[in-house]
Amino acid sequence: MARKTKEEKALEARIDAAFKRHGSGHQFDIFDLGKVMDDAKAAVKAGKDLDAAMVDAIAKYEKVEK
């Protein structure tokens, strides 16, 4: 596995912080946690706002009770 650059580490730290801000109280499968983070990271790299990207990623994988 390749080493991460300082920029990649900083982005991951920002994504983790955004998840802590927006992920509280939402339920989703623990196996989807990586998908949430990957979706948010891809959206940020594509130029989307970090907080908006995290909210969208959480909403995509959130379990909704029916």
pLDDT tens digits for range 12-63:
999 999 999 999 888 989 899 999 999 999 999 999 999 999 999 999 998 8
Task: Give this prediction's pTM.
Answer: 0.85
Q: For residue 7, give the amino acid letter.
A: E
57 CB burial (10 A radius; 0-12, 13-18, 19+): buried
Q: Where are the domains of the chain?
A: 6-61
pLDDT at residue 66 greater than cutoff 80:
no
What pLDDT shows up at residue 63? 82
Q: For residue 36, give the amino acid letter.
A: V
pLDDT at residue 2 greater than cutoff 70:
yes
